[in-house]
Structure 1
Amino acid sequence: MNSARVKGVSKKFGDVTALHHLDLQIGQGEFIALLGPSGCGKTTLLRLLAGFESPTSGEIWVNQECVADQARRKPPEERRIGMVFQSFALWPHLTVYENVVFPLQHQKHVPAAYKDNPKARVAQMLEMVGLGGMEERFPNQLSGGQKQRVALARAIVFNPTLLLMDEPLSSLDAELRMQMRKEIQFIHRELGTSIVYVTHDQSEALAMADQIVVMKGGRVEQAGSPQDIYYSPQSPFVAKFVGRANFLKGNWSCPSTFLLERQGEPTVPIAVSRDFSSFRAQQILPVRPDQLKLTAWQQGMEGVVGKVSHVEFQGRELLYSIRVGEDDWEVVTDISQRFSYGERVCVEVCV
């Protein structure tokens, strides 16, 4: 069962096409992250789902009902959709209680139990987001993290079918972002609400989402689970945008074997267990830094030999640059594996 569906949607602003014939399904209770660089169309898609914009072509469905096409658009308050913005968007002259209760008074399709006893429902939501007892405070008496929690409580108080979040953590500091990630995931598990979460932070998408939709230039570049997106990228853009990637040069002798080529060295066959068919025409193999293993080189060793050209301490791990032929490969190792500048190492590729 789908909470929402985007069918062949395009959106133009004058001569600029922001979205190109997009298709997307949002399953019941699913957490989907829209990930991509600025200007890729992810916020435009969110605004179309919310009802702030109309599609130039195509249809948008919410709860098995067509809520928008090029001829008509159902307003936001009739879609049973909650929204959390980057800027919090709280009313400064209203208390925390008044901000959170607002959707119960103005949204359509609010459950009768919530309308009949709004104080109990608001108190329940504020407890869930860690703000119990703060009903009478005003936004200017709250920290940035508390304001975002109020915005979150307001978005979920009427039990929306779909929760839309537009880079909600980008204005918070690093420690608070990590804390809020956990709280959003907790709320998702507790309520089972479908979430569409816009971000340009790949670590947020990998950590939180059930499905990641990577966008580029108004199109879906790849959609899949965080594991699929990270370990089985289908284009160089996805490989580079979601985490770091090395592009090894060589030839594909068959779908399961890549022949690594280095200037003046014999080819090295690499067994490949994943589908990288989209990279075959370019004769490259994308490899994550954690898919490379280093061992100290000893006389007579065969395989891929490189030299340490750079080392960075990263806390629990070390990031190495290894010079292999004319290329530099990035390698991440456990903190216990220490190699020196200029040291020769053997590199094993595990894909």
Structure 2
Amino acid sequence: MTTEVVNINKSFGDFRALNDINVTINDGEFLAILGPSGCGKTTLLRLLAGFESPTDGMIHINKSLVADRKTITQPEQRNVSMVFQSFALWPHMTVSQHIEFPLKHHRYVDAELRNHSKDRIDEVLKIVELEPFAGRLPGELSGGQKQRVSLARAIAPKPELLLMDEPLSNLDAELRLEMRREIQNLHRLTQAAIVYVTHDQGEALAMADRIIVMNKGHIEQIGSPEEIYHHPKTPFVATFVGKANIFEGTWENNIFTPQGTNEKWKDIGVTKELISENMYALRPEQIELKHAGQNENFGEILTRQFQGKEYHYSVRYNNQTVIVYRPVSEKFRVGDYVSLNPLGNH
């Protein structure tokens, strides 16, 4: 099943939440929508679910028009399930009853699945590893177990499109890592297309086949995790996803000179879009530090943070603060003067 979002705009009064959004979600794909709060990612998800209607544009699911500015197919009439940030569990229903509910009421559940709902409940309980908790109520479960129930309820009717709205944001750091693996496993087992909204770049990079990076209602870039991380096309993508440092200066014959210096930096794969804006992006781990010698453009170490296998430094360089990650074998002190270069720029 393919889902197509065509020229979608969404306004709330005078506020434009989405601007000319175009994307195709392929059958069985894991697509992450990544961006800061207020960028429009949840609005786009709600349009896909049928909770909102577009101001302009069209949405097609499996070649059928489900939304435009005049008509909207209601959520219960789409072969779609949603996992909410808040879990949205019913306090009076057991784990098994949560899984059974969509099997009874989802219009796209086929007759065989409906007639053998007990088998499907047992199958889903096994998938999400909740078999020992089948008879428990939500109040008797941990946060991670509640999220598994929410996932189980969503996958029970075998939807063709599974929507997830920041499902891990209410869990602690260790549980989030564990649940990433669970969701990847669910994707492999269900083969459903997943649209996963998050503001956490780590989640998107770890799980998705493709990532949409959004900012202020616009799509900044669409690509694989590797493309988004290694080849950002805009300053926003570079800084939001790769936590890159952006340097302004001039380009000449694939050589970059940072503004206010006489340094010469080689092109290490900067995208043509950033080159056209006379910019150079360096992620913290791409920067080499050395104690500054005479006649060098140098920076000053402002802070140092120990992070186990590496130190995180902030460096005042040419009127901007640059973040640098270096291994513990390369230790500098606060106040040291250092030269700064891209790794391999020799």
Q: TM-score, normalised by structure 2?
A: 0.92
Judge conservation of contact 1:63–1:161 (CA < 8 Å) in 2: no
Which segment is superposed worse, 147-156 or 196-205? 196-205
Find the aligned partners of 1:233 and 1:10 in 2 and give their Cα distance: 25
Q: 2:260 matched to 1:262? A: yes
Q: Which residue of the partner structure matches residue 304 of structure 2?
A: 311
Find the aligned partners of 1:107 and 1:20 in 2 and give their Cα distance: 32
User: Any idea what SS the aligned residue of 1:262 has?
Assistant: coil
| 1:30-49 matches, cutoff 5 A | 30-49=29-48
Cα offsets for 1:31-66 (capped at 9, x unmatched): 111111222111111111011111121111112221
| 1:1-351 matches, cutoff 5 A | 3-254=2-253, 256-263=254-261, 267-296=262-291, 305-350=298-343
User: Any idea what SS the aligned residue of 1:331 has?
Assistant: strand
Shift in Å, 1:281:
5.0
User: Any idea what SS the aligned residue of 1:89 has?
Assistant: coil
Cα offsets for 1:140-169 (capped at 9, x unmatched): 111111111001000001111111000111
Q: Quick one: structure 1 residues 313 and 113, their matched pair in 2 at CA, closer, same or farther if it must change by over 3 Å?
A: same
Find the aligned partners of 1:347 and 1:318 in 2 and give their Cα distance: 15
User: Any idea what SS the aligned residue of 2:170 has?
Assistant: coil
Find the aligned partners of 1:323 and 1:173 in 2 and give their Cα distance: 34
Q: Quick one: structure 1 residues 218 and 249, their matched pair in 2 at CA, closer, same or farther if it must change by over 3 Å?
A: closer
User: Any idea what SS the aligned residue of 2:132 has?
Assistant: coil
User: Any idea what SS the aligned residue of 2:134 has?
Assistant: coil
Judge conservation of contact 1:304–1:348 (CA < 8 Å) in 2: no
Shift in Å, 1:304:
5.6
Find the aligned partners of 1:326 and 1:218 in 2 and give their Cα distance: 31
User: Any idea what SS the aligned residue of 1:213 has?
Assistant: strand
Find the aligned partners of 1:15 and 1:249 in 2 and give their Cα distance: 35
Find the aligned partners of 1:73 and 1:327 in 2 and give their Cα distance: 49
Shift in Å, 1:293:
2.0
Equivalent AA in structure 1 for residue 243 of structure 2: R
Judge conservation of contact 1:77–1:106 (CA < 8 Å) in 2: no
Cα offsets for 1:85-116 (capped at 9, x unmatched): 01111111111111111111111222333212
User: Any idea what SS the aligned residue of 2:149 has?
Assistant: helix
Judge conservation of contact 2:298–2:338 (CA < 8 Å) in 1: yes
Cα offsets for 1:242-301 (capped at 9, x unmatched): 2422122320114x32123435xxx2222214243333454321211111123455x67x
Equivalent AA in structure 2 for residue 43 of structure 1: T
Count of residue correspondences: 344
Which segment is superposed worse, 133-142 or 151-160? 133-142
Find the aligned partners of 2:333 and 2:246 in 1 and give their Cα distance: 24
Equivalent AA in structure 1 for residue 289 of structure 2: L
Find the aligned partners of 2:329 and 2:117 in 1 and give their Cα distance: 56
Judge conservation of contact 2:270–2:281 (CA < 8 Å) in 1: no
Equivalent AA in structure 1 for residue 329 of structure 2: S
Judge conservation of contact 1:28–1:193 (CA < 8 Å) in 2: yes
Judge conservation of contact 2:270–2:280 (CA < 8 Å) in 1: no
Unaligned segments of structure 1, at least 5 residues: none
Judge conservation of contact 1:81–1:161 (CA < 8 Å) in 2: yes
Q: Quick one: structure 1 residues 329 and 12, their matched pair in 2 at CA, closer, same or farther if it must change by over 3 Å?
A: closer
Q: Quick one: structure 1 residues 228 and 341, their matched pair in 2 at CA, closer, same or farther if it must change by over 3 Å?
A: same
User: Any idea what SS the aligned residue of 1:34 has?
Assistant: strand
Judge conservation of contact 1:231–1:288 (CA < 8 Å) in 2: no
Q: Quick one: structure 1 residues 306 and 73, their matched pair in 2 at CA, closer, same or farther if it must change by over 3 Å?
A: same
Which segment is superposed worse, 337-346 or 168-177? 337-346
User: Any idea what SS the aligned residue of 1:230 has?
Assistant: helix
Cα offsets for 1:72-93 (capped at 9, x unmatched): 2222122111100011111111
